[in-house]
């Protein structure tokens, strides 16, 4: 599982390095150096998996601030530029002009096929045949250690069967959202942090599939896109920065925008995309004698996943948080965390099993 996370990190890095360099206009030397450094996020860490690599203090502060609950700040406390940024995004939301990214065409086709009772596997294959880059990445994914790939596959149909479409759909969506941000002039660092955290959440949720009463593929997608609104708000923010000659907004202003816009943007995405797995209704207080509805259970799930996300952030920063999430067994949470951050004993056992095979 640890190798799976490392593979995914390399998967995104290679894909978007090629995509950015081929699609973007020529840059001056300074911009090329900057873009190069972004495409090599954590280059000195490439040969180390996430279990041996700690996040930076800046990443920890940013990610913990994302999952914290705090009242809205007074906009007058911000600079004129930051205030204009937040006000512009809020106005877009009020006037229904906030741009929700369209689902990638491949994801739309996958979604349609997944809702079909009887479908031929060749129909899934046709989606990837029309996208050579996506086809290549699918085959690489199918041959990864995560799927116990002792026999390599070079055929798209075998790759589709081995990987499973529920995972692919979520990954295609994330790739599209991430590309949109990386093509802007700012927030590259922030999107890398959120991408890696989302991948961790996907793997953790997949480990918790039985506790979530979902298939592993559904749980993976739920974790991967649990806070898909982060990508949408970052995308609009990056466009704002680009339209203002690359002038950076403050970390505080970005966080204020993320907190204010996050929930309504999540709702817009659910409504526009029609992905039921992301639907988390608003919590309504219950009367004392009232039984919780399915909607209340969904909101409880969101709170549980947020708490799990905080545990992963703390663990990634080098802390040793208690693996306790209300509603999940401690054993299940420990298993989910260990899938991403294995102990020395886990690594030794894994190596011993590998040597025996």
Q: Which residues of 210-236 are buried (b: 16+ CB within 10 A; e: fewer)?
A: ebbebebbbbbbbbbbbbbbbbbbbbb
Q: Which residues of 248-264 are buried (b: 16+ CB within 10 A; e: fewer)?
A: ebeeebbbbbbbbbbee
pLDDT at 28: 40
CA distances from 122 to 113, 159, 253, 267 (A): 11, 11, 48, 34
Closest CA to 309 of 191, 210, 225: 225
188-205 pLDDT, tens digit per residue, is 999 989 988 998 999 899
User: What's the residue count for the chain?
Assistant: 357
238-256 pLDDT, tens digit per residue, is 999 999 988 899 999 999 9
**pLDDT confidence tier of residue 309, bands split at 50, 70 and 90:** very high
pLDDT at 231: 94
Q: Hey, which of 16-20, 27-31, 131-135, 259-263 has the most confident mean pLDDT?
A: 259-263
83 neighbors 251 (Cβ within 8 angstroms): no
Q: How many CA atoms lie within 13 A of 237 on its CB side?
A: 28
Domains and CATH numbers, the chain: 2-24+55-282+292-348 (1.10.3210)
153 neighbors 143 (Cβ within 8 angstroms): yes
Q: State yes or no: pLDDT of 14 exceeds 70.
A: no
Q: Among 144-158, 215-229, 339-353, where is mean pLDDT lowest? A: 339-353
Q: What count of other Cβ atoms lies within 10 Å of the Cβ of residue 38?
A: 16
- Please tell me the chain's helix, strand, coil percentages from 3-state DSSP, rounded to the nearest 5: 70, 0, 30
Average pLDDT score over the chain: 76
Q: Among 66-75, 128-137, 142-151, 284-293, where is mean pLDDT lowest? A: 284-293
* CB within 8 Å of 152: residues ≥ 6 apart: 143
pLDDT at 152: 87
Record the tokens describing residue 215, joined without a space: 């298939």
Record the tokens describing residue 339, joined without a space: 């899938």
pLDDT at 211: 93
Q: How far out from the chain centre does Cα 181 lie? A: 13
326 neighbors 304 (Cβ within 8 angstroms): yes
Give the DSSP H or E segment for 11. Answer: helix 2-23
Residue with tokens 């409880």: 300
Q: State yes or no: pLDDT of 337 exceeds 90.
A: yes
Q: Among 87-101, 130-144, 175-189, where is mean pLDDT lowest? A: 130-144
Q: State yes or no: pLDDT of 31 exceeds 80.
A: no
Q: What count of other Cβ atoms lies within 10 Å of the Cβ of residue 348?
A: 11
pLDDT at 11: 52
Looking at residues 317-333, what average pLDDT do you find?
93
Q: State yes or no: pLDDT of 146 exceeds 80.
A: no
CA distances from 57 to 47, 53, 317, 318 (A): 21, 13, 8, 11
Q: State yes or no: pLDDT of 72 exceeds 80.
A: yes
């Amino acid at each position: 599982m640890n190798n799976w996370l490392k593979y995914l990190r390399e998967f995104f890095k290679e894909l978007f390095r090629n995509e950015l360099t081929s699609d973007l206009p020529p840059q001056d030397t300074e911009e090329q150096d900057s873009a190069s450094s972004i495409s090599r996020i954590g280059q000195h860490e490439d040969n180390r998996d996430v279990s041996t690599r700690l996040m930076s203090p800046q990443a920890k502060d940013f990610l913990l601030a994302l999952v914290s609950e705090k009242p809205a700040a007074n906009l007058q406390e911000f600079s004129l530029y930051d205030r204009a940024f937040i006000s512009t995004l809020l106005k877009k939301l009020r006037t229904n002009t906030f741009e929700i990214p369209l689902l990638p065409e491949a994801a739309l086709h996958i979604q349609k096929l997944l809702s079909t009772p009887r479908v031929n596997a060749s129909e899934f294959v046709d989606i990837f045949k029309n996208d050579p880059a996506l086809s290549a990445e699918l085959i690489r994914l199918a041959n990864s250690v995560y799927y116990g790939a002792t026999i390599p596959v070079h055929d798209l149909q075998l790759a589709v069967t081995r990987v499973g479409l529920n995972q692919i759909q979520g990954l295609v969506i994330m790739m599209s959202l991430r590309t949109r941000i990386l093509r802007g002039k700012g927030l590259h660092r922030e999107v890398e942090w959120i991408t890696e955290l989302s991948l961790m959440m996907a793997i953790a949720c997949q480990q918790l599939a039985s506790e979530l009463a979902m298939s592993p593929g559904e749980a993976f997608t739920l974790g991967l896109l649990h806070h898909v609104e982060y990508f949408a708000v970052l995308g609009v923010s990056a466009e704002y920065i680009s339209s203002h000659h690359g002038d950076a907004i403050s970390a505080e202003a970005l966080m204020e925008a993320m907190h204010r816009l996050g929930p309504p943007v999540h709702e817009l995405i659910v409504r526009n995309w029609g992905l039921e797995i992301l639907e988390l209704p608003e919590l309504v207080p219950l009367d004392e004698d009232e039984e919780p509805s399915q909607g209340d259970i969904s909101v409880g799930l969101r709170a549980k996943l947020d708490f799990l996300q905080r545990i992963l952030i703390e663990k990634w920063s080098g802390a040793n948080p208690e693996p306790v999430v209300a509603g999940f067994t401690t054993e299940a949470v420990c298993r989910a965390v260990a899938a991403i951050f294995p102990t020395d004993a886990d690594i030794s056992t894994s190596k011993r099993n590998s040597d025996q095979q």
